Copies of this chain bind each other. A is one copy, B any other.
Amino acid sequence: MKKSTSLKIRLPALVLVSEIVFIALYAGFVTYDTDANAKLQDNMTNPMENDLYKDYPVFVDVQVMIFIGFGCLLAFLHRYGFGGLVFNFLTATFAIQWAILVQGYFQFYSGGKIHLGVVNLLSAEFACAVVLISYGAVLGKTSPVQLLVMALLEVLIFSITEWAVLNYLRINDAGGSILIHIFACYFGLGVTFVLYRPSLNNGHANDATSYQSDILSVMGTLFLWVFWPSFNSAVTFKGDDQHRAILHTFIGLSASTLTAFALSALLSQRGKLTMADIQNVTLAGGVTVGASVDMMISPVAAYILGAVGCIACFLGYKYLTPFLAQHCRIQDQCGIHNLHGLTGIISCLGGIWGIMMANEDTYGPSLYQTFAHRAPMEGDPRLHELQQLIPGLQPGLGRTASEQALFQVAAMFSTIGVAAVGGIATGFVLKLPFLASPSDECCFSDKPYFQVPSDHESVAVPKLPEVPEDTKV
């Protein structure tokens, strides 16, 4: 007997119950942040200095990445275009709502209230990106009900991990390579490990692209590419730190894009480019520069990080992903381990190198701003001296470069560990029988969950023999 994939009761029940909970939590615990509260403005307030004007431009760019960039990128399967684009929309909206509340409790809570401003939304979008990356591992093999349950659990586990890392380990990770990409990757791999479907290792008629779906997916790549500098620089210090973050991200992406084209042609059978490489591997540089994105690593280092990350990502797609699927029960549909895992680890190493090389010769006194945890502790006379040079410098932890590097390593391994365990646990929850999971033969198809137009089946014709080549290579 086939399991039902009807969303009729399950999806509304989950969503509406969640909404009631959200409303209750909003009613009880959410109020406006200082800069959004009319009462806290006075005759000294300059409206144009409202934090809104620092945060909103970046927020909008990240919105485009989340809803349009990710959505289109995930719509690369010829019969799962609705699923890629629309479940991304649903999951993102849900994850952001939930993250506003959970992160709000951990990071923006005081006086019994969560204080809400655009900065919370921005922060919640990062948590949402985590969920969407993990979605890549199980794309087409999960129902929207499962995706929402995954979002519920992953946002919770991520927010706790983020809070612990930021409060106890205190790392440098402006682009989120450790917290966002590595967490998302190993969580997603944990989930897909549990949801292993042996029959999919033999290929699936729906697991293919069409001409239009490939084009749509490249558009998603381009939107991500264009706005990635905003993503990587969203939470840096303003001024020169953010300026460098934008330069490095652009350079890293450019390097990985050129390298991806070169490798795609070099390692293909007949000297032809593969669209999947262009859709994914080109973006590797955005991740690999992440952990060191605001440091004075020099432009050439950003270039090399982009190129190296791209090579690792490319080889991962070519050799590691099939290996993991065949031998390790890890079916990573979008290859998130290549684009987010391997690159995240390289990024972390780049960050450690950046930390070890940083000194006052290169940074001047700004060193203690970019590496806030290396600033002298409260009470240290050197702190007062530095505060003359950098108004508003916060007391730090007085760490040395090596100490900071060790904390980075600790953060990486503990993030991998928590994410993998959290993902496996979440995977078992997703195996509960009433979550409308699709049967193997219905994977990668919109049909179980959407009323599809009559041309859905005909949008690509994968069974036709390929027409003879008109060029001999």
Contacts and interface: CB of A to CB of B under 8 A. Distances in A.
Which 9 residue pairs are nearest across A and B when measured between Cβ atoms? A47-B239, A6-B271, A8-B271, A26-B300, A7-B265, A15-B262, A12-B262, A12-B266, A38-B366
Contact of A222 (B67, B144, B227, B453): B67
B303 A52 contact: no
Contacts of A56: 246
A283 B410 CA distance: 44
Contacts of A64: 226
A389 interface: yes
A53 to B, nearest CB: 8
Contacts of A243: 33, 35-36, 50-52, 117-118
A97 interface: yes
A307 interface: yes
29 contacts: A7-B265, A12-B262, A22-B303, A31-B299, A32-B298, A37-B296, A38-B296, A43-B389, A43-B390, A46-B239, A47-B239, A50-B242, A50-B243, A63-B226, A67-B225, A68-B223, A71-B222, A72-B219, A81-B211, A82-B211, A85-B215, A86-B273, A89-B218, A97-B254, A116-B299, A275-B451, A448-B471, A454-B460, A455-B459
A96 B282 CA distance: 15
A96 B254 contact: yes
Interface string A439-467: 10110010111111111111111101011
Contacts of A86: 218, 273, 275, 278
A234 B50 CA distance: 16
Contacts of A97: 254, 258
A463 to B, nearest CB: 8
Contacts of A366: 38-39, 41
A52 B459 contact: no
Contacts of A466: 454
A388 interface: yes
A19 B258 contact: yes
B453 A211 contact: yes
Contact of A19 (B4, B71, B259, B452): B259
A407 to B, nearest CB: 21
A229 to B, nearest CB: 8
Given A218-B85, A218-B86, A299-B116, A263 B12 contact: yes
B121 A250 contact: yes
In the complex, the count of this chain's copies comes to 3
Interface string A407-447: 00000000000000000000000000000001101100101
A78 B453 contact: yes
Contact of A240 (B36, B90, B214, B471): B36
Given A2-B472, A7-B271, A450-B273, A367 B38 contact: yes
Given A2-B471, A93-B258, A451-B268, A247 B389 contact: no
A348 interface: no
A257 interface: yes
Contacts of A67: 222, 225-226
B460 A455 contact: yes
A94 interface: yes
B470 A462 contact: no
Contact of A455 (B93, B117, B461): B461
A230 interface: yes
Given A8-B268, A39-B366, A211-B459, 9 more contacts: A19-B307, A27-B298, A32-B247, A42-B389, A68-B219, A93-B258, A438-B471, A454-B466, A455-B464
Nearest to A45: B239
Nearest to A458: B461
Most-contacted residue by chain B among A46, A51, A259, A458 (CB, 10 A): A458
A459 to B, nearest CB: 5
B81 A261 contact: no
A116 B247 contact: yes
Nearest to A465: B454
Interface string A110-150: 00000011100100000000000000000000001000000
Contacts of A156: none
A172 interface: no
Most-contacted residue by chain B among A2, A246, A307 (CB, 10 A): A246
